[in-house]
Amino acid sequence: MEIQEGPFGLRFIQINSGSVFVGTNKGGWIHASERPHHQVNLPAFLILESPLTIGQVKTILGQKTVDENLYEEMNLDTLNQICEKLSKHFDDEVRAPSESEWLYSNDKLNFYPGYTEFLADEATSNHRGARLDGRPRLGDLDGPMSGHRVAYATHPNNSNTKQRFSTPADRPLPKVVARLVVSPKRVGIDHRVPENANLMVNIQSEIFWTFVLGIIPSFSIPVIRGFGDYATEGWANLLFGGLCAGFLTGAFWRPKRPTWGVNKDEVIRLD
């Protein structure tokens, strides 16, 4: 792991170029906010080893102090001021890491139990429209939610356990921290995950699996158990029960969904 010393005592880790998968391809409805699964190709970049401390923030903003405690209640206004100051020392873009950059370098970073770290990406409802070159997802939301960011909370007792969620980053909140990346400015085509799913294919799949996992077993069970008459007399109840069973199975399991990526400047399915 190569450490690069930056201005104001900042310690950056050099991350080599590579790719990382973001999201999930699980088909259950409970995983809808984590889809689509996609591969992000990243250039080499620098990322802070630890979140910003009080001393680092104050020094960057022109107030001398040596306090090494984490700078809590970080917010977008303060972070933007810091990035503006540091941009004078780098040719590349200085900002909070995108989710893909953070995930790719996750195993090399320092985390602190009980703290929440917000990233550069707006907290959208899913990964549709996500960028495939590692730049942050910004400008997709209007109104109050545009100030919310993707965040990861570290477990209070285990720094290896983290939970993804979103947090308001436009105002100070307790135990909210941030770190920085120095990442190349992206140019060229802005490749993105497709904005819309194939609705007709999804409907056909849902009908098929509702029949296979719900309606067919609902009618077959009474016949197998010797209550064939009920399969005709109580068909309405069995149909309703089958639909309910199909709906419940859909919440937890459906076939895997597509994985997206870029190949020769074209967005393609990788699976």
Measured distance CA(119)–CA(122) in Å, rounded: 8
For 242, the 3-state DSSP assignment is: helix
Q: Return the pLDDT at 77.
A: 97
Closest CA to 8 of 73, 80, 50, 64: 64
> For 20, phi and psi rounded to 5 degrees?
-145, 145
DSSP symbols for 19-51: EEEES----SGGGGGGPSEEEEEE--EEEESSP
Please measure the distance between the N-terminal and C-terminal CA atoms of the chain and give it in whole angstroms: 32
Q: Return the pLDDT at 64.
A: 81
Which pLDDT tens digit goes with each residue over 48-86? 999 999 999 999 999 888 889 999 999 999 999 999 999
Model confidence at 188, in pLDDT bands (50, 70, 90)?
A: confident
The answer to whether 21 touches 261, Cβ cutoff 8 Å, is no
What is the CA 80 to chain-centroid distance, rounded? 22
Token reading at 138: 């910004």
Kindly state the average pLDDT of the residues 99-121.
97
155-166 burial code (b ≥16 CB/10 A, e <16): eeeeeeeeeeeb
Which pLDDT tens digit goes with each residue over 158-186? 988 999 999 999 999 999 999 999 999 99
In the chain, the domains with their CATH numbers are 3-183 (3.90.1580.10), 199-257 (no CATH)
Residue 1 has pLDDT above 80, yes or no: no
Kindly state the average pLDDT of the residues 255-260.
96
Kindly state the average pLDDT of the residues 80-95.
97
Which pLDDT tens digit goes with each residue over 10-34? 999 999 999 999 999 999 999 999 9
Q: Return the pLDDT at 36.
A: 97
Percentage of residues of the chain with pLDDT beyond 70: 100
More confident residue, 226 or 153: 153
Kindly state the average pLDDT of the residues 83-92.
96
Peptide bond into 36 cis (omega under 30): yes
Kindly state the average pLDDT of the residues 104-112.
96
Which pLDDT tens digit goes with each residue over 199-253? 999 999 999 999 999 999 999 998 998 888 888 888 999 999 999 999 999 999 9
Q: How many CB atoms lie within 10 A of CB 195?
A: 8
Q: Return the pLDDT at 79.
A: 98
Q: Return the pLDDT at 65.
A: 82
